[in-house]
Structure 1
Amino acid sequence: MTTALTSLPAVAGPVYVPGDEGFAAEVFSWNVATTHEPLAVVGATSAQDVAEAVRWAGTLGLPVAVQATGHGAVRPAKGGILITTTRMAEVSVDPVARVARAAAGARWSQVIAAAAPHGLAPLSGSSSQVGVVGYTLGGGVGPLGRKHGFAADHVRRVEIVTADGALRTVDADHEADLFWAVRGGKGNFGIVTAIEFDLVAAAEFFGGGIYYPGRHASKILEVYSQWSARLPEEMSTSVALLRLPDAPMVPPPLRGALTVHLRVCFLGRPEEGEALLAPMRAAAPSIIDDIAVLPYAAIDAVHRDPTDPMPSRERGVLLDALTPETVERIVAAAGPDVDIPVPMVEIRHLGGAFTRPPAVANAVSGRGAQYVLFAIGLGLPELAPVVDAAIERILAVDTVPGGLMNFSGGAGPEAIQANWAQADRDRLLRVKRSYDPTNVFSSGQPLLP
């Protein structure tokens, strides 16, 4: 096979094989716990490069994986062709139509910057450094979501290279089954080279975060469970148990200690937001309270996700309520009385528009749940058994069937299929077998083994 790889695809971007200078940098993932080991990596510069690389892999009988920023790299790509899309980062905004178009390697920060001068915002996620395409194809649960729904609900058009190497433009009127499946089924049907989606009016928001001492975790989660259930859908929130390192990039009061972080994004009048926040402010004394009126360009202030690459193992489950029993189990497994290598345990409030069907149906799973409970552990090989056991204990609560692709971590095909009810699962598999009968796209979060 190595000999066959000497016949490289006719692409404008670079092609590396193991041992080449530049190979390691090209396959590097933001989640450094995932080390890709492809037979070759193609640095695509255009949709034509992607199509040529897929056709080349087809002549060699090799599977194909794709990576943009590497935030969603939960399983290593081994033995096939890896296509990287970071060089395809074009973004455009039509402020009249309130529509944006992002190429395969674009990050949310680019869309936010292009939309902000027009008082518009995308349905981006907790970090603006994440890639637009992978996040959206997995559903997309962001801080505007309770008001506007999943990011995938607002996709108008997708440009995608399928397993036969064809570049297709799909929407509600063109190859509707594929358009349905790719919005929620993530990378199982091809490589999306560009995506077109709606923007919403959101020049600013009332929000940010409140940090509390970890010793108050039980009280804060108890108050949060009752408070969040009564919120209007203009307010999106989450609460996280954080174990941040004793490191210079962490604010001194939060270093090396368990803290509880309330995250808030409210699309309404600040005085109404202040009134809504009162029960949480009264729940416990705060260490830091940086809630303010902010431009949407400052949306990262809500979650304050890390920006440096890190090793992680992650998984989530869906809940229909935060019962006292659920809160008690979470605190017992991740609260102040335990020492675990799990930097974050988050409860993210869903409900609202997340429960409503979109104007054009899609394959987003988990619709109808009220919360997602999500844990991120340190992805160090020597800690894997301890981390996995800790995450299992944290997630051992009363759950509802199904799951969200972007919160499924490195689950295998059986668990990934379980994200959907039977009818949607059957439809996804029909589309998969129609467009990818030999399972060329089987890395990442695969529907099929």
Structure 2
Amino acid sequence: MTFVDNTSDLLVLRPGDPGYDDELAGFQTGFAQRPAVVFAASSADDVIAAVRYAGERGLPIGVQATGHGLPGGSEGGVLVTTKRMDRVTVDPGTRTVRVQAGVRWGQVVAAAEPYGLAPLNGSAPSVGAVSYTLSGGLGILAREFGYAADHVRSLDIVTPDGRLRHVTRESDPDLYWALLGGGHNFGIVTELEIGLVPVQTLYGGSLAFDGREVDPAAVLRAYEEWTRTVPDGLTSSFSAVPYPDLPALPPHLRGRYVVSVRIAYTGTDGGQLVAPLRELGPALADSLREMPYAESHTIHSDPDFPHAYYGDSAVLGELDVAAAGELLGRVGPDAGGPMCVVQINHLGGALAQPAPNSVPYREGRFLVRLLTVGDREAARAVLDPAFALLAPVRLGRALNFAFGAGDRTGGLYDAETLKRLAELKSRYDPANLFRRNYSLSPC
């Protein structure tokens, strides 16, 4: 059916309508969103209409751009899809970009490149820029420039009262603080303005080893020691991936257990800095090189096709290499459980600097991310005991990397941040209309 407001024809879909299932399709296929009403928004006016519709009826409302970070399945209520809102506008003079709610990072990288600029995007070009940033945004060059949320200039948001607000740090410091780190708890961001950085090229890539020929725990131990020697501007991660034996994969990856160190660095001495890593053993693959920033997604080569996955994360004050080594054994290819991908990000640097937003755990030194395929119960059977090994040094979880496997909100914020967010939730959304994502409860 079509809902008509004063300015646009707004497509509204209900279960059984042609196009309903296609509208809901996203990157995550492991669980279903089955809202009673879908508003396929093309403008801020469409979002206003959807929020007012939900508010007048007391219905829960959520938002979906690409469907990467869904917290789980849901039934009923209202869902606003924003994939049609895909305008990107670069201002090279101010080194900023304005992105609408449905824009993906690959679009922003392509739009900024002609001006010698780059956004603080993550590893996957298909991820939505707005949701990523509202959750913090741990990017490819994070240790040099901090979280993406730290660079937001302004946000346009439809709050639960159906108002479109232009929010800056100066105009509304409380709401600005809450939005950047608080996810989709305070309304639907229709557009944001974010700073770009003057980066055209970087030294990056992956140094990979065969995890059956070298000890993954030994590589991890050497990696942790190496991170203590590198400059703040070098961003890196360790990964362990048991690849299935599938024809679609490159021959050198099929059926292998690949242990890698990924690098992203804008300095000129990258080759010297990674030299100790090259001494760890014969490389299965070495893609480290100077590259245009537009090729930075090749550092991680994340899957670009929709699939089912479950995952969680742990921000650590320190990396207990013995416990992490045991974790690798428990989730590795010989453990007998579902395929589990391990990634350990080196934090610190600019990430540790204070900022006027609600991104928590800036004191963390590492982030451990586990991602499984298969069903949710099998995922929990792997993830729960694995994260229990890290409990003594675990500060909390990261909102960007909570993928439907665990508690929706537990551990996502420290106590002080959670208290302030809950107070602001009571002010801006006392009816808790926005509870379809990683929802905060009002005080």
Aligned residues of 1:317 and 1:399 also touching (Cα < 8 A): no
1:100 corresponds to which of 92, 97, 102: 97
In structure 1, the partner of 2:363 is: 368
Displacement, 1:251?
1.1
Matched residue SS, 2:203: strand
Alpha-carbon distance in structure 2 between the residues aligned to 1:243 and 1:336? 6
In structure 1, the partner of 2:257 is: 258
2:184 corresponds to which of 177, 184, 187: 187
In structure 2, the partner of 1:392 is: 384
> Which residues of 2 match residues 343-382 of structure 1 at below 5 A?
343-358=340-355, 361-378=356-373, 380-381=374-375
> Which residues of 2 match residues 334-349 of structure 1 at below 5 A?
334-335=331-332, 337-349=334-346
2:72 corresponds to which of 56, 70, 75: 75
Aligned residues of 2:71 and 2:408 also touching (Cα < 8 A): no
Matched, 1:212 2:209: yes
Distance 1:178 1:339, change over 3 A: same
Matched, 1:319 2:313: no
Matched residue SS, 1:34: coil
In structure 1, the partner of 2:420 is: 427
Aligned residues of 2:242 and 2:333 also touching (Cα < 8 A): no
Matched residue SS, 2:191: strand
Displacement, 1:214?
1.2
Amino acid at match of 1:403: R
Alpha-carbon distance in structure 1 between the residues aligned to 2:49 and 2:159? 11
Matched, 1:247 2:246: yes
Amino acid at match of 1:356: Q
Displacement, 1:8?
4.2
Deviation string, structure 1 residues 181-203 (Cα, Å, up to 9, x no partner):
00000001100000101001110
Alpha-carbon distance in structure 2 between the residues aligned to 1:161 and 1:61? 16
Matched residue SS, 1:142: coil
Aligned residues of 1:14 and 1:43 also touching (Cα < 8 A): yes
1:22 corresponds to which of 8, 19, 23: 19
Distance 1:88 1:434, change over 3 A: same
Matched residue SS, 1:401: strand
Structure 1 unaligned segments of length 5 or more: list them. 1-5
In structure 1, the partner of 2:108 is: 111
Alpha-carbon distance in structure 2 between the residues aligned to 1:200 and 1:84? 29
Matched residue SS, 2:48: helix
In structure 2, the partner of 1:56 is: 53
Matched residue SS, 1:120: coil
In structure 1, the partner of 2:229 is: 230
Aligned residues of 2:98 and 2:192 also touching (Cα < 8 A): yes
Amino acid at match of 2:412: N
Which stretch has the larger CA shift, 246-255 or 196-205? 246-255
Distance 1:12 1:247, change over 3 A: farther
In structure 1, the partner of 2:329 is: 332
Amino acid at match of 2:377: P
**TM-score relative to the length of structure 1:** 0.93
Displacement, 1:74?
2.6
In structure 2, the partner of 1:221 is: 220
Deviation string, structure 1 residues 248-284 (Cα, Å, up to 9, x no partner):
3321111122111221101111xx1111111111112
Alpha-carbon distance in structure 1 between the residues aligned to 2:324 and 2:38? 45
Alpha-carbon distance in structure 2 between the residues aligned to 1:362 and 1:9? 37
Which stretch has the larger CA shift, 221-230 or 151-160? 221-230
Tell me how many residue pairs correspond in the alignment: 435
Displacement, 1:33?
0.6
Displacement, 1:7?
9.2
Alpha-carbon distance in structure 1 between the residues aligned to 2:146 and 2:267? 17
Displacement, 1:245?
2.6
In structure 2, the partner of 1:277 is: 274
Deviation string, structure 1 residues 162-215 (Cα, Å, up to 9, x no partner):
111111110111122111100000001100000101001110000111221012
Deviation string, structure 1 residues 74-94 (Cα, Å, up to 9, x no partner):
322321011000000000111
In structure 2, the partner of 1:156 is: 153
Deviation string, structure 1 residues 122-179 (Cα, Å, up to 9, x no partner):
1000111100000000000011100000000000100001111111110111122111
Amino acid at match of 1:231: V
Alpha-carbon distance in structure 1 between the residues aligned to 2:98 and 2:321? 44
Alpha-carbon distance in structure 2 between the residues aligned to 1:26 and 1:414? 27
How high is the sequence identity, in percent, across the aligned residues? 38
Displacement, 1:340?
2.7
Aligned residues of 1:244 and 1:343 also touching (Cα < 8 A): no
Matched residue SS, 2:393: coil
Alpha-carbon distance in structure 2 between the residues aligned to 1:362 and 1:268? 28
In structure 2, the partner of 1:3 is: none
Alpha-carbon distance in structure 1 between the residues aligned to 2:402 and 2:441? 15
Once superposed, what is the RMSD of the aligned Cα atoms? Answer: 1.6
Alpha-carbon distance in structure 1 between the residues aligned to 2:50 and 2:244? 41
**TM-score relative to the length of structure 2:** 0.95
Amino acid at match of 1:341: P
In structure 2, the partner of 1:404 is: 398
Alpha-carbon distance in structure 2 between the residues aligned to 1:336 and 1:116? 40
Which stretch has the larger CA shift, 166-175 or 394-403? 394-403
Alpha-carbon distance in structure 2 between the residues aligned to 1:443 and 1:126? 26
Displacement, 1:414?
4.8
Deviation string, structure 1 residues 386-416 (Cα, Å, up to 9, x no partner):
221111232222333232211233344550x
Structure 2 unaligned segments of length 5 or more: list them. none
Aligned residues of 2:319 and 2:393 also touching (Cα < 8 A): no
